[in-house]
A and B are shown apart, each in its own frame.
Chain A
Amino acid sequence: MKTPARLVFPLFLAALTTLAAYDAKASAPTIRLFPTTVVEDLKQTGNVARDMETGLQEVIGRLDQQQELYQQSKCDGAEDDPGCQRLARQIGATYLEMLTIMEERLPDMEHTVNNTRQSLEKGLRNELGRKMTSWTLQETLLGSKAEQATAQASPTLRGRSGMRLSERFKQYYQLVATSGAKGDQSLAVLASDIYLDMEETSLLIQRTRQEIARATLMEQLNQSFGIITPEMIEVVGGVKTILFGDETAQTIVAGPPPGSVEQAYRSPLEQ
């Protein structure tokens, strides 16, 4: 994980800077969905996501192993067994460690995700919501014939969850970088995709932060009894979903369409 992240984020930064330059240079009446502020916010969110992943990966890995051991030892239903109680306390201690790290890192994460979300929100509202009708939006999404040919040659991201947070940013980088050369139709879809993703992530972080204080207190109490609560498992699951994605819900990346839309016949009635 660490090596690709080190490689990806400088590239991510460079590509976003290029995109910002492209956006500024475009002479046609281009929609401004990725101004410099959004690009900066995306970069910052990517950095924070990487740091958080790095910090939590080891703890969560350890937690997974301990839980596996607990289950293999058939401790479910044998909570009074001294060995199982010892295992449960170890799990609880690791869980507290995870909560502490999250308590430290989540505010930064929430801040950058919210910044990205707000910047995109403003762009979407002004550029697509207020300046466009549904008809012009459709024309933007379709693009010109020339742009269509290019757009069809590359895949488009579909779906928003189901992958590692930093991996998602890597995909965003790739899409933003390639969409920049294609035109507004790809940017509109991409901006919408990222915005809805940020909205979802922001809500998850908010809920997780609300839970952390309560969960920390509960676990401190449970430490004296050596109990694994369902909440513990739920919170760990939530954290893993935010950071590492849902293993069962893989993001679908659509392939390019089979051919060109260009047809031989054009009706004089066509709009």
Chain B
Amino acid sequence: MNFKLTNRALLVIAGLMILSSCASTTPTCSSPQTKNLSAAIDNVEASLMEGCQAHFDRYYDDLLSIAEGDPKPENKREFSEFLVWSSDQGLLSTRQAQEYYNRYFNVKFMSLKSDYNNCSHTCPNKQKVLFDMERELSDKERGLLKVSLDNDGYYRADQLFQEVELVLEATCTACAASR
């Protein structure tokens, strides 16, 4: 009887220990607390490796906010390396990594990705395309201007947006005239 009780107690203790060990490995997925971008990237990478992949968007946003606090041209490289690492770890596909990088740090607009010609595809969706570009321009303002201090890059992106708007207006009018 005593033996049975001891066994039962041991089983309960073992169960509790297993449960407590599970609780200690559950990732908290908290945002990085440091204001240093490199350290924050290290924290985020560790969290992502611990199973916080679902929080990638939030982490990326956190990193951008931290970088805004210490804007410099080198930040571009930090973000690029972080995204390449994410892609290498299989957290992101190459295409997703490119999307994350170019949307914020490149002059070119990812919203203009298309496999079909302008008359057949872009013109019928012109308003949506321009709306998406406008939203992307505000991300570029954050990435190029506020994070990387790349004023020229942002100026060019803004100019490109205006040029695309003008050229699409003319091209789509010309496309519609043939119908």
Interface residues of A (CB under 8 A from B): 120-122, 124-125, 128-135, 137-139, 141-142, 148, 158, 185, 188-189, 191-193, 195-196, 199, 257-261, 263-265, 267-271
Which listed residue, A132, A196, A269, touches B170 by the CB 8 Å rule?
Answer: A196
Beta-carbon contact of A261 and B98 below 8 Å: no
CB distance from A199 to the nearest CB of B (A): 7
Closest 10 CB pairs of A and B: A192-B170, A267-B80, A269-B101, A129-B119, A124-B174, A134-B112, A125-B174, A121-B174, A129-B175, A134-B122
Of all chain A residues, which has the CB nearest B75?
A: A265
15 further contact pairs, Cβ within 8 A, besides A133-B116, A269-B84, A271-B98: A125-B171, A125-B175, A128-B118, A129-B118, A129-B123, A132-B117, A134-B129, A138-B112, A141-B164, A148-B156, A257-B155, A261-B152, A265-B80, A267-B105, A269-B102
Number of A-B contacts (CB under 8 A): 146
B7 lies within 8 A of chain A by Cβ: no
Could you name 17 residue pairs across A and B whose Cβ atoms are closer than 8 Å? A121-B173, A121-B177, A125-B177, A129-B119, A129-B174, A131-B117, A137-B112, A137-B171, A142-B160, A158-B162, A192-B171, A195-B173, A196-B166, A199-B173, A263-B153, A267-B77, A269-B98
Residues in chain B near residue A138, CB distance under 8 A:
108-109, 112, 160, 164
Beta-carbon contact of A269 and B174 below 8 Å: no
Residues in chain A near residue B172, CB distance under 8 A:
129
**Most interface-central of B80, B121, B171 (chain A CB within 10 A):** B171
Which listed residue, B123, B160, B168, B170, touches A195 by the CB 8 Å rule?
Answer: B170
Interface residues of B (CB under 8 A from A): 73-74, 76-77, 80, 83-84, 97-98, 101-102, 105-110, 112-119, 121-123, 129, 150-153, 155-156, 159-160, 162-164, 166-175, 177-178
Beta-carbon contact of A130 and B101 below 8 Å: no
Beta-carbon contact of B118 and A267 below 8 Å: no
Dominant secondary structure at the B interface: helix
Which listed residue, B101, B107, B163, B171, touches A129 by the CB 8 Å rule?
Answer: B171
CB distance from A145 to the nearest CB of B (A): 11
Once the chains are docked, how many angstroms separate the CA of A23 from the CA of B166?
Answer: 23
CB distance from A109 to the nearest CB of B (A): 20
Known: A132-B117, A133-B114, A263-B150. A192 touches B167 (CB 8 A): yes
Once the chains are docked, how many angstroms separate the CA of A121 from the CA of B174?
Answer: 5
Residues in chain B near residue A124, CB distance under 8 A:
170-171, 174
Which listed residue, B77, B83, B156, B164, touches A257 by the CB 8 Å rule?
Answer: B156
Beta-carbon contact of A265 and B73 below 8 Å: yes
Beta-carbon contact of A137 and B164 below 8 Å: yes
Beta-carbon contact of B112 and A270 below 8 Å: no
Beta-carbon contact of B118 and A137 below 8 Å: yes
CB distance from B78 to the nearest CB of A (A): 10
Which listed residue, B118, B123, B169, B178, touches A196 by the CB 8 Å rule?
Answer: B169
Residues in chain B near residue A131, CB distance under 8 A:
117
Residues in chain A near residue B110, CB distance under 8 A:
271
CB distance from B104 to the nearest CB of A (A): 11
CB distance from B4 to the nearest CB of A (A): 64
CB distance from A176 to the nearest CB of B (A): 15
Beta-carbon contact of B113 and A135 below 8 Å: yes
Once the chains are docked, how many angstroms separate the CA of A97 from the CA of B112?
Answer: 53
Known: A129-B123, A132-B117. A195 touches B174 (CB 8 A): yes
